[in-house]
Amino acid sequence: MYIMVAGSIACGKTTLCQRLAALPRVYVKTQTAEIIGRTIDTPGEYMENRTLWNRLAVSAVDSALVLFLQDPVNRNFRFSPGQAAMFQVPVAGVITKIDLAGEDDIRYAEELLTLAGASPVFAVSSVSGEGMDRLSRYIHSLDHPACESAMPSKRKLH
Ligand SMILES: Nc1nc2c(ncn2[C@@H]2O[C@H](COP(=O)(O)OP(=O)(O)OP(=O)(O)O)[C@@H](O)[C@H]2O)c(=O)[nH]1
Ligand SMILES: [Mg+2]
C-alpha cells in the first residue's frame, strides 16, 4: 500500500518523497499525482483548490497512510480544520524544512497540523535528514503492527 502526501504548493512534498525513496533531490514541479517509490506525490494545487479535493480522495484509496505536510516558514495554511476526517486511513502530520525554521515556526506549524486533524506530527528536513529516522520508524510500525511500541504517542511532536 502507498503513502499519499498532500499539502500546499512548494511545501516540500516531492522532496520528502525523494528522500523517503532514497532518490537524489531533483526539483520538479509536480503536475499530477505520481508514484515515487512507495509514496503518491500530489501537486499542491490539489490541496489549495477545493474543487480538486476529490483527486486527493481518489489517490488516497490505494493508500494506507496520508501525510499532511506544512512548511513552517511560509505560513500559508491550506488545510481546513478537521480535514483529516475526509480520509478513511490514518493521517499523520509532517512539518517540513525545519533546517530553515525557528522554534516558534515549528510550534505554530504543529498547531496547524493538529487543527487539521493530523496525528502524530513529525518535524523533518528533507535536506539535512533531521527527523527522518522517526518518520521512517513510524511508517515501519504501520507496516508491522506488532512493533506498536515503536509508535509515538498521540499529540506529541516527533
Ligand atoms: N531547505 C530546505 N528546502 C526544502 C526542503 N524540502 C523542500 N525544500 C525546497 O522547497 C522547494 C519546493 O519543494 P518541493 O518538494 O518541490 O515542493 P512541493 O510541495 O512538491 O511543491 P509542488 O509540487 O509545487 O506542490 C524546493 O526548492 C526544495 O528544494 C527542506 O527540508 N529544506
Ligand atoms: Mg511537488
- pLDDT tens for residues 43-71? 999 999 999 999 999 999 999 999 999 99
Instruction: Name the residue of 14, 16, 76, 94 whose CB sits within 8 Å of the most ligand 1 atoms, as the mutation to test its pocket.
Output: 14
CATH number for the domain spanning 52: value is 3.40.50.300
> Whose C-alpha lies nearest to ligand 1, atom 7?
12
What is the model's pLDDT at position 146? 65
Domain-embedded: residue 157? no
Domain-embedded: residue 83? yes
| Structural domain range at position 9 | 2-150
| Max Cα distance, the chain (Å) | 39
What is the model's pLDDT at position 26? 94
> Whose C-alpha lies nearest to ligand 1, atom 21?
10
Mean per-residue pLDDT of the chain = 92
Q: How far is 56 from 13, CA to CA, in rounded Å?
A: 14
Domain-embedded: residue 158? no
Domain-embedded: residue 156? no
Domain-embedded: residue 155? no
Per the structure, the count of domains in the chain is 1
Residue 154: pLDDT band by 50, 70, 90 thresholds?
very low
CB under 6 Å to ligand 1: residues?
Answer: 7, 9-15, 27, 29-30, 43-44, 96-97, 99-100, 125-127
Check pLDDT > 80 for residue 151: no
3 and 139 Cβ atoms separated by less than 8 Å? yes
> Whose C-alpha lies nearest to ligand 1, atom 6?
12
- pLDDT tens for residues 113-142? 999 999 999 999 999 999 999 999 999 998
Instruction: Determine the distance separating the centroid of ligand 2 and the alpha carbon of 35, expressed in angstroms.
Output: 11
Instruction: Determine the distance separating the centroid of ligand 1 and the alpha carbon of 147, expressed in angstroms.
Output: 31
Residue 153: pLDDT band by 50, 70, 90 thresholds?
very low
User: pTM (2 decimals)?
Assistant: 0.92
Overall average pLDDT of the 70-97 stretch: 93
Residue with cell string 499519499: 4
Q: Which ligand 1 atom sits nearest the alpha carbon of residue 9? A: 25
Nearest CA to 2 among 67, 50, 75? 67
